Amino acid sequence: MLIYVENIRGRDPAYLIEPAAVRAAIRGLPMDVDIVDAFSDAPDIGALEKADFFVGAKLDTARLNRHGGRLKLIHCTSAGVEGYLPLDWLPDRAVLTNSSGIHAEKAGEFGLLALLMLNDHVPQHMTSQRSHAWKRKLARPIRGKTVLIYGVGALGGAIAEKAKLLGLNIWGVRRSGAPHPHVECMFHPDLLAQALPSVDFLLVTCPLTAATRGAIGARELMMLPPHAGVVNMARAAVVDYDALAELLREGRLAGAVLDVFDPEPLPATAPWWDVPNLMVIPHVSADDPVGYIDRSLAIFGRNLANLAAGRPLDNVVDASIGY
């Protein structure tokens, strides 16, 4: 068996997929494995054409389509795969798996941090600091306030768990409408408008799909009460940032903590840097620099065992729902 590992040159070492780590993740599996690793800007096409499995942080879908005819499994070390949809490029024998779920602990903490920052008016204090203005604004404790988590998957669920520790009321929105142990009240996306006027915080953690693109638009944001704050840990395209910025400038929303932008890195000329009460976080909310790749490779290793045993795979991307 041949595993082809593809890295991106110059990225933070936290994201480097080391062959030794791959080997550790598949230790004990009943198969002989060779590993070839290459950078995406210098691919080993010959090896790729012979490979059974592919592991990479970013997928060159055209190259995989052209040279991945033997691949049975393509594993992506990130959670969001919206850039690879539809899956019309996927080689016939292959399935695509993602790393959804490996961000849960870090993301849970960051979600709680973002809610506390909004509750304590930190975006306002940050804006005041820029102009050397001392503007006191008191805040009640967060206990008893309500957050609506838009997209209760691994991330949203982890945030719900942490937020519950501080006594928040947790509401959620889920495609399936299915209950979740840490969510008191679950809404179907069609009923979003019923929830929005009653929440103190809207926290967006859904995958980007055809259904969620633009789901938090001007109409939805305007249904929030003016003291409410918005957190986006999903993808920029889920939330209408133009509308959000206008509402922040007009004081019709209190604050925003945004961890995702389009494009990234956010250019210095982007308007969001200077919007009052808007915090720009450089897409770090969910990534733990230690063990990130190991946790992703654990999914890959488990799936190789699943394949060997004829069991269904974990974390398979479903093109029909988009994640």
Residues engaged in binding a second copy (CB under 8 A): 12, 14, 105-106, 109-110, 112-113, 116-117, 119-122, 125-126, 128-130, 132-143, 162, 165-166, 264-266, 268-270, 273, 279-285, 287-290
DSSP, res 147: E
Select 67 or 103, whichever has its Cβ closest to a second copy: 103
Per-residue b or e along 289-311, where b marks 16 or more CB atoms closer than 10 Å to that residue's CB: eeebbebbbbbbbbbbeebeeee
Q: Which is nearer to a second copy, 15 or 306 (CB)?
A: 15
Write down the least CB distance from residue 136 to a second copy, Å: 5
CB distance 280 to 272 below 8 Å: yes
Q: Which is nearer to a second copy, 36 or 116 (CB)?
A: 116
Judge whether 255 and 121 are in contact, CB under 8 Å. yes
CB 47 within 8 A of CB 70: no
Radius of gyration of the chain, Cα coordinates, nearest whole angstrom: 21
Say if CB 205 and CB 153 are below 8 A apart.
Answer: yes
Give the nearest distance from C-beta 227 to a second copy in angstroms.
13
Report which residue type is found at 7.
N
Pick the closer one to a second copy by CB: 155 or 307: 155
Q: Exposure of 41 by Cβ count < 10 A (0-12 exposed, 13-18 middle, 19+ buried)?
A: exposed
- Least separation in angstroms between residue 78's CB and a second copy is 14
Torsion of CA 175, 56, 51, 35, to 10 degrees: -130
Of 5 and 158, the one with the shorter C-beta distance to a second copy is 158
CB 107 → a second copy: shortest distance, Å?
Answer: 10
Q: Give the nearer residue to a second copy in terms of CB position, either 81 or 279.
A: 279
Q: Of 162 and 174, which CB lies nearer to a second copy in the complex structure?
A: 162
Q: From the CB of 96, what's the least distance to a second copy, in Å? A: 25
Q: Are strands 34-39 and 229-232 parallel, antiparallel or unpaired?
A: unpaired
Minimum CB–partner distance for residue 247 and a second copy (Å): 19
DSSP state of 207: P
Cα torsion angle, 308, 313, 319, 323, sign:
negative
CB 174, min distance to a second copy, A: 25
